[in-house]
Structure 1
Amino acid sequence: MDDQGYRAARAKAAKATKGAKLQFRELELATLADAVPPGPEWVHEVKFDGYRTLTVIDAGQVTMYSRSGLDWTAKYADIARRLKALKIDNAILDGEIVALNEHGASSFSRLKAELMAGRSDELQYYVFDLLILNGEDLTGQTLLERKAKLETLLASADFENHVIYSEHFAENANFLPHLCNLDMEGIISKRADSTYHGGRGKTWLKVKCHKRQEFLIVGFTESTHAGRGFRSLLLGYYDGPTLKFAGKVGTGFNGDLLQDIRAKLDKLKVISKPFSKLPPDVGRGIWVEPKLVCEVEFTEWTPEGRLRHPSFQGLREDKSAKAIGRDTEMPVKAAVKAAAKEVRGETPPGKQRHPSAPLKTPDRIDVGGIGISHPDRIVFPDVGITKLQLVQFYESIAERILPHIVNRPLSLVRVPDNVDGQQFFQRHLPERGGLHNVQVVNVPVKERTEDYMQISDKLGLLSLVQWGGIEFHPWGSHSDAPTLPDRMIFDLDPDPEAPWDNVIDGAAEIRERMRELGLTSFLKTTGGKGLHVVVPIERKYGWPAIKGFTRAIAESMAQDSPTRYIANMSKAKRKGRIFIDYLRNDLTSTAASAFSVRARPGAGVSTPLFWRELTPSLRPGDYTLLTLGKRLKSQRTDPWADYFDLEQSLRPEILNALNIKDI
């Protein structure tokens, strides 16, 4: 649209507005992003922890609406009274009602307490947009044009710091860490040249300091303490039409709040359990119609789809129960591109998609914030596993695999098509880049420096799977000190003719040898036909010492039982025996990580085991991409629960006895 057409459209809108009674209109909503967008076209505002509020001023009357269109003027009586000081014919303001805590940060729990007490004189209204002013529709103007008019308007009256203009900040003002340190909620980033539209688009992005969202209250568990009201709330959300269980929350309540919520729950219809299967620790729940919405802060989602360390923040009367889904962060690069298209008018700003619904294009699906191309491609032909299923598996176990692979030099087994075809052992990133949250780490190797890849979060993990990565092979050391290993690994690799009982005995023998030296070890399958015994150690000795020690153990076992074990990797000499592979313990050497899928038929997974599972009935092939989820859900405890907490090291006298020097 040219400038003349643009002005004509604005004039037509303004004419249509004059004389008409102003009413509630749909709010513009922000899309959750994984980072603050860069560039001069973006401005940034503080994200407040309160109630989104649209205010309509018309002929001296002030009406304040919740985000869903409920008239909450009575709740905000003091703010509404103050807004009457504006000398205008009419206006529509968009902003957030907040209450500040003792540290000066917006506090949703404080806001709830004030409203429950029927008070509004301590509330503040931060206004960040102006849609209508004196009969003129401003929604077709740019954000900065609208905000300039808003700032002038609010400066025309003295609101005694109860109605406040929400300032914005330009690029390079990265104050997100500062806001998070002040316990604020986050940032809203907006395209400076965007117009105002209803629904959720990409020209407004929100970046949060903490994981926090709304959930449905689907039930509760009774308390054994008289007068407490309930022990915990049972939570859920919609995945399309399906109600999903999200866990329970039992903290964040005071006595009055417990009784108030219980009174509301008692008014709801009791229903039968809405889930076919629940974790055993949920206990006996009383299930109710999912009509109440609450806000919960938590640290992470577990692989089983439950909230970790949830804390109740308050009920949300402004959110529709049917709209509650699971929030998914959008990669900021994709959001920035989409916002540019919206501004250019290439794509209309759409209605909010359901938070749990996948983003689909003709051959692309969003999983965990990463766009997955060719999701239907069969990666494991023998069992029919698709690329989408592979990515979804890694998303589901991200919390378990990441501690074993983050912040380490990392190699991949990449499969461009399927595991029956060509495979690559990938150590370095492509020059073209383009991978989300995958970094380059410089490692000194034999008097030269080489660039390896490294990840630090789930986005990096899923990005590498989208790139074709199936197997994850981390170094036995961290990127900040690659020459100082923090684990040893013994890989028991049996010849096809070697008896399985010998593999079992070999793993048990390594465990016993480590125990005699004061070291605790851990067991896992390799994802293939062998076993790994892993020994975490403090970063005290270099690779030469660790390789020398593991070699001495392997050679000692081979000498003691030459018909069973061999410390030589020669396949010709391995017939009927088990290779105790100590060569994984060296600079640049790797082994498949715990929870890594293997790029082989069957989609085996390297699976941590309890030592008590080391029996002749153990079958490593039983642990696959298709079966591991059931195993993890049924586990009451983690077989490797103490792995990252152990502080143990090889004693110097052991290395001296073996004549091993740390060189």
Structure 2
Amino acid sequence: MNLKEYNEKRDFAKTPEPKGETPSEVNVQRFVIQRHQARALHYDLRLEINGTLKSWAIPKGPSMNPNDKRLAVRTEDHPIKYLHFHGTITKGNYGAGEIIIWDSGTFEIDRTEMDMPAHEQLAKGNLKLIFHGKFIKGNFALVKTGMRNGKESWLLIKKKDAFSTDSLYNAEALGPSSDPKTKQYPKTIQPNTILQPMLASSTKEIFNDPDWLYELKWDGYRVLAHISDKGVLLQLRNGINLNTKFPKLAKELESIEHECILDGEVVILDESGVSQFGELQNYPDSMGVLRLYVFDMIYLNGISMLDLPLTDRKSLIPEVIQGLELTKYCDHIEGMGAALYQKAIDAGMEGVMAKLKDSTYTLATRTEKWLKIKSVDSLDALICGYTDSVGGGVAFGSLILGVRVNDEFTYIGNCGSGFSENRRKELLRQFEPYRRDENPFGKKLPLKGRKPNWMVPTLSCEVNFSERTKNGLLRNPVFERLLNAPVQEADSVPKRLQRKSLPSREIIEIDGLPVSITNIEKVYWPDSGLTKYDLIDYYLQVSKFILPHLFDRPQSLHRHPNGILEEGFYQKDNENVPEWMQTFTLYSKSSERDIEYLLCQNTASLIYMANLGCIEINPWNSRVGKLDFPDYGIIDLDPPEGMKFKNVVRIAKEFKSVMDIAEIQGYCKTSGSKGLHIYIPMGAKYTYEEVRNFIKLLCYFVQQRLPRISTLERRIKKREGKIYLDYLQNRKGHTVASVYSVRPLAGAPLSMPIEWSELDGKFSAQEFKMKNMIQRLERLWDLFQPLLTESINMESCLENLKELG
């Protein structure tokens, strides 16, 4: 590309932008990220390569979280002078709107993976970058994925390094300012907006330095406490609301007379004043004293304190929290780090924090201006499985840990300590949806005869350890905490939606997250008078049953915002969602663009979808991480209009007979519409094509047995009033209504799992309704739960089916 396209799009008599001239021969490898409030807010990334600025528009802005894969659309090259451009492009011009310099600096090309200069990596569509900015730092990948509306579609991905964060990241939280005099690095923040705190880097050796101050390192929950006229918000690093977990603390903070944002650590102290993380998890049934130690303040009475030196920020804290009982000031000493470190270790604490006295506060960034020095090392490890306990005395023996290196998993050892027995049981319950037969390491591990139970490496944990062996294994690892459990504690989810006199719009708190509820009394089912309220209330009640079947699966939203009488529509792409909502970007060959799929990871996500008018829930058959390998195969029994349902029951029983011969444990549910769905567990061991062909074979055997009432003919006109045995649902991206899903049909029927013994002549496809299900669920629990962990052996099943000819 050159600057011709840039110039052709602009009238420089009307726009303040610099004119594109001859590309520069000097290449300093500078970059700029500009916040561009045009027709739609986005961020523009520009890299100095071969004399021009190679440019990408990033709708959601960059992220320092490696789990975020930000869409970046390639745009025309810009002139080098654009590195310093900010201002207002007036209405009527191309790109009209406000442009602010959000970040700038220099970048390097990382040649460790590809030994190519910048322009060659760009041509290859795979840039490996090291940024040196104020907000954006460290290793990134910028990867081309295809074309989108005639433009190159790329992904900007943060690599895991010393600067990355595992917290929610929102570029807007860094607060762009509209003041034309302060275009560079604006920092406007306000209470009750989810923020990501500044994080510390690790170092091994304690030191003395008069320019540094030293604090005790507390082992608890890192919390930002927002206090304003709207009330108190206790916010975890990942955005979760802890008000319901610590109501006494939240109540005490309400007495603060200032509007402020405090940064600190919630801990439980034993009799010696040492923080006990395990007891904190058991709160309020814990042994010890609850405290919030405040070590920083970043906002006070309308003023952002981010740019003040640390000592100035800390000096104001004692007056703000004066007189509080649970909330205490985290004091410090200056210069004498070694003495405080030794005192902390002797007292049984983890270590100390060292902070530069004049350091400013940078949100969502891991900095070397703050350091943590611990008596033991720690790291974040992926849980790749667990071993059975020796003798069966506890829930499991040890965790099998790994880390990801260049898209492969490296074994770093087992961790068998740091758990109470109750904690082991709780972890084992959380592990169930991730069980797999496949070893993620692809090779046998030295487990000393202990039986492994493999998992998809999704969950991660923090472990402490003393050192590494020559083989890279952790020595004396101790489990500290689970970092990314999918579903929050049960008491953080309201069991019912309180109807009362709900306004047309209300924010309710679910999983500690704010969920907007609108038009609650809109009638969705005119035949029965059921409303949007009834739908949301239903999904609240069944969330514990349905969520394990939705977690980590891309969702195809089937929306009926005006009820069942108006035609619904499918929505896959979801760019404008709450900041706490997880999404997954996947390139669509048919659309030639990236699709941003929702992931339903918790009750808050489920209710968000229901509020959009998603009466039915449509998850993929496979999960993120193994999208080409479905967890189950589906047989859809689709009868024609007017056919007696007893014929559907007869065919379902014939499938049961064939599956018995193959030694398959199949599971059946009502479709909630006309037919039945039969599910067969595949354990993500086979491709979609293999699963589809296997299901087709089963359908063939049943059709041969019952040719008068069943068919494999896809064309409706040629089915001759027969039940269609649909095996084509087993294609990547195709969905059917989830188990426990409501259907957008009269009476609000459900897609409900059933026992095979229930199939008789009196049974119907709409046996279960939204209003009569909860007692059944509490009695039978989740009949489909085995689908999350079991798998057939397809080869053995095929061998068994040979007797059918």
Structure 1 length as normaliser, TM-score? 0.51
- The structure-2 alpha-carbon separation of the partners of 1:166 and 1:101, relative to structure 1 and needing over 3 Å to count, comes to farther
* Equivalence for 1:524: 669
What code does the residue aligned with 1:148 have?
S
Residue 31 in structure 1 maps to residue 233 in structure 2: yes
- 1:366 maps to 508
- How does 1:84-483 map onto structure 2 within 5 Å? 99-100=269-270, 104-106=274-276, 128=294, 147-150=314-317, 171-172=363-364, 327=492, 362-364=504-506, 366=508, 368=510, 369-429=514-574, 431-434=575-578, 437-443=581-587, 445=589, 450-455=594-599, 456-483=601-628
| Higher strand proportion (structure 1 or 2) | 2
Q: Deviations over 1:165-222 (max 9, x none)?
A: 99997522579xx99x99xxxxxxxxxxxxxxxxxxxxxxxxxxxxxxxxxxxxxxxx
Confirm or deny: 8 A CA contact 1:328 1:356 kept in the other structure.
no
Contact 1:364/1:374, CA 8 A, preserved across alignment:
no
* Aligned-residue offset at 1:576: 3.8
Residue 488 of structure 1 and its aligned partner are, at CA, apart by 0.7
Task: Write the distance in 2 (CA, Å) between the matches of 1:156 and 1:539.
Answer: 55
Give the Cα separation in 1 of the matches to 2:578 and 2:714: 38
Sort the Cα spacing of 1:419 and 1:402 in 2 relative to 1 into closer, same or farther, 3 A.
same
CA contact (8 A) 2:683 2:791 kept: yes
Instruction: Tell me, in whole angstroms, the C-alpha distance in 1 between the residues paired with 2:664 and 2:750.
Output: 26
1:637–1:108 distance in 2 versus 1, CA, 3 Å? closer
Q: Which deviates more from structure 2 when the two are superposed, residues 575-584 or residues 27-36? A: 27-36
Deviation at 1:48, TM superposition (A): 12
Equivalent residues of 2:634, 2:678 under 8 A apart: yes
Q: Is the Cα–Cα contact under 8 Å of residues 675 and 765 in structure 2 kept in the other structure?
A: yes
What does residue 632 of structure 2 align with?
487
Determine whether 1:500 maps to 2:670. Answer: no
Secondary structure of the corresponding residue to residue 766 of structure 2: helix
Query: Could you tell me which residue of structure 2 aligns to residue 649 of structure 1?
Result: 793
Distance in 2, Cα, partners of 1:130 & 1:545: 57
**Deviation digits for residues 261-299 of structure 1, max 9, x if unmatched?**
xxxxxxxxxxxxxxxxxxxxxxxxxxxxxxxxxxxxx99
User: Which structure 1 residue ranges, 5 or more long, are not aligned?
Assistant: 1-26, 39-43, 55-65, 70-93, 132-137, 183-249, 253-297, 309-325, 330-354, 659-663
Deviation at residue 371 of structure 1 after TM alignment? 0.9
Q: Hey, what's the Cα distance between the residues in 2 that align with 1:376 and 1:481?
A: 40
2:595 partner SS? strand
Change (3 A) 1:487 1:445: farther
Partner SS for 1:514 = helix
Amino acid at match of 1:649: N
Summarize the Cα distance change of 1:655–1:444 in structure 2 as closer, same or farther, 3 Å threshold.
farther
**CA, structure 1 residues 433+653, in 2 after alignment: closer, same or farther (shift >3 Å)?**
closer
CA contact under 8 A between 1:50 and 1:108: conserved in structure 2? no
1:382/1:601 contact within 8 Å kept? yes
Asked if structure 2 preserves the Cα contact closer than 8 Å seen for 1:475 and 1:589, the reply is yes
Q: Distance in 2 between matches of 1:579 and 1:448?
A: 32
Q: For 1:537 and 1:640, how far apart are their aligned partners in 2?
A: 13
8 Å CA contact 1:413–1:471 kept in 2: the answer is yes
SS of residue paired to 2:608: helix
* SS in structure 2 of the partner of residue 620 of structure 1: coil
Q: Does 1:639 align with 2:779?
A: no
Contact 2:587–2:595 under 8 Å retained in 1:
yes
Q: Report the AA paired with residue 722 of structure 2.
A: R
Aligned with 1:580: secondary structure?
strand
* Residue 598 of structure 1: aligned partner: 743
Output the CA distance in 1 between the equivalents of 2:789 and 2:295: 50
Q: Secondary structure at the match of 1:513?
A: helix
| Separation (CA, whole Å) in 2 of partners of 1:447 and 1:632 | 40
Deviation at 1:594, TM superposition (A): 0.5
Matching residue's letter, 1:366: I
Cα deviations by residue, 1:568-602 (Å, 9 ceiling, x for unpaired): 13333334421111110112222111011111121
Match of 1:568 in 2: 713
Inter-partner Cα distance in structure 1 for 2:745 and 2:686: 35
What is the aligned residue count? 418
Identity over aligned pairs, percent: 20
Once the 2 structures are TM-superposed, how far is the Cα of residue 541 of structure 1 from its aligned partner? 2.6
Per the alignment, residue 291 of structure 1 pairs with none
Q: For 2:551 and 2:282, locate their aligned partners in 1 and report how far apart those are by CA, in whole Å.
A: 40
Distance in 2 (CA, whole Å) between partners of 1:589 and 1:111 is 40
CA distance in 2, matches of 1:422, 1:499: 27
Q: Distance in 2 between matches of 1:651 and 1:102?
A: 61
Say which SS state the counterpart of residue 728 (structure 2) adopts.
Answer: coil
Give 1:359 deviation, angstroms. 11
Change in 2 beyond 3 A, CA 1:416/1:435:
farther
Please report how far the alpha carbon of residue 475 of structure 1 lies from its aligned counterpart in structure 2 after TM superposition: 2.0
Q: Which of the pair has the greater relative contact order for Cα pairs under 8 Å at 6+ separation? A: 1
**For the residues of structure 2 that align with 1:53 and 1:461, how far apart are their CA atoms?**
27
- Residues 128, 166 of structure 1: 8 Å contact kept: no
Deviation at residue 469 of structure 1 after TM alignment: 1.4
Letter matched to residue 643 of structure 1: L
Kindly provide the CA deviation profile for residues 435-481 of structure 1, in whole angstroms up to 9, marking residues without a partner as x: 75141331565796652513122222222222221222222222322
Structure 2 residue ranges without an equivalent (≥5) = 1-226, 256-263, 320-328, 356-360, 376-420, 424-481
Aligned 1:579-594 pairs, distance under 5 A = 579-594=724-739
In 2, the alpha carbon distance for the partners of 1:486 and 1:111 equals 33
Equivalent pair of 1:494/1:503 in contact (CA under 8 Å): yes
Give the drift of 1:128.
3.7
Contact 1:413–1:599, Cα closer than 8 Å, also in 2: no
Does structure 1 conserve the Cα–Cα contact (< 8 Å) formed by 2:545 and 2:782?
no
Offset at residue 127 of structure 1 (A): 5.5
Output the CA distance in 2 between the equivalents of 1:48 and 1:631: 31
The answer for the alignment partner of 1:15 in structure 2 is: none
Cα offset, 1:328, TM superposition: 6.2
Alignment of 1:608-619 (within 5 A): 608-619=753-764
Tell whether the 8 Å contact from 1:484 to 1:541 is kept in structure 2 after alignment: yes
Q: 2:698 aligns with which of 535, 549, 553?
A: 553
Separation in structure 2 between the aligned mates of residue 359 and residue 33 of structure 1, nearest angstrom:
29
Within 1, Cα distance between the matches of 2:694 and 2:526? 41
User: What is the deviation of 1:490?
Assistant: 0.6
The Cα shift of 1:126 comes to: 6.4
Indicate if the aligned counterparts of 2:661 and 2:801 stay in contact, CA closer than 8 A.
Answer: no
Contact 1:365 1:371 in 2 (8 A): yes
Question: Equivalents in 2 of 1:407, 1:124: separation in Å?
Answer: 35
After superposition, the CA RMSD in angstroms is 5.5
Does structure 2 conserve the Cα–Cα contact (< 8 Å) formed by 1:52 and 1:67? Answer: yes
Contact residue 645 and residue 764 of structure 2 kept, 8 A: no
Residues 236-259 of structure 1 show CA distances to partners (whole Å, capped at 9, x for unaligned) of xxxxxxxxxxxxxx989xxxxxxx
